Amino acid sequence: MKKFFLIFLLFFTVNLGFSQRFIGSAILGMNATQVDGDEVYGYNKFGFNVGASVMLALEPKQQWFATVELLFSQKGSFRKSLVDSMVYSNVNNIDYNFDYDSKIKYRLRLNYVEVPVIFHYEDPKTGWAFGAGFAWGRLVNIQEVENGWHLKTNLRSDIYRTSDWSVLGDVKIRLWKGLKLNLRYQYSFVPIRVRTFTNTSNGQTWDRKQYNNVITVRLIYSFNERYRLNYLKNKKGERNGPKWVRDNTIPSK
């Protein structure tokens, strides 16, 4: 975790040093996640999605952008004990240093330091931005609870891949000046694990590849972005789009 904060500080410092060319932002949001292939369904696991980003305009009109982010992102899966699920689970590595928790049927916590790269288009009239890209995540912490018992799953057990490769789609809505609402969908294209399940009633086994499946809602605030009042009006005289839009005029030297 200390390494993450040092990288975060360096990332932000470099951005400030290039403030005339890059747009730097702070990010704060939440993930709603599930793991496809774990026999538990629903976006029931919530976690933080926080960090910083650097955005660069790819052409003078400032409609096409490339963005690199550095994030701490929590993913995983969760199911309460009251729901009949995972009767076919195979618990063979219980960690008895933790007490039994009758409230949890299954809980998986996966913490990543993540670097997404996104290319997006921003409509200069409305301030809406649409993008797509990919992300690499480094797994830094694991916690797994199954049928009320904590498991010995950790980074050294080699159960989960330490790298998570994923694709993502992204929408940003300008709320006020440099403040934007961001909606994102992200999905692993490389399995994070291959697991063998066992049906406890008949002994049948099967393998399933598992993938992170993430919906993210975030607020993004840009520190050194230039913007102007939106003067575009419709036929009724009402403003089209947000009050503030990006100022894409070239500043005088």
Residue 11 domain-assigned (yes or no): yes
What residues are paired with 54 via a beta bridge?
Answer: 24, 68
Residue 251 domain-assigned (yes or no): no
pLDDT at 22: 83
SS3 assignment, position 172: strand
Q: 42-63: per-residue pLDDT in tens?
A: 999 999 999 999 999 888 888 8
Per the listing, tokens 């839009």 go with 245
SS3 assignment, position 98: coil
φ and ψ at 5, to 5 degrees?
-65, -35
Angle at 125 (CA atoms; ends 121, 127), nearest 5 degrees:
55
What residues are paired with 34 via a beta bridge?
Answer: 213
This prediction's pTM: 0.83
Q: 105-134: per-residue pLDDT in tens?
A: 889 999 999 999 999 999 877 788 999 999
Instruction: CATH number of the domain at 159, please.
Output: 2.40.160.20
Q: Which residues of the chain have pLDDT under 50?
A: 5, 8-9, 12, 14-20, 85-88, 252-253
Residue 18's domain comprises 2-246
For 125, half-sphere exposure in the C-beta direction (CA atoms, 13 angstrom radius) is 5
Number of structural domains the chain divides into? 1
Residue 111 domain-assigned (yes or no): yes
The whole-angstrom separation of Cα 169 and Cα 68 is 14
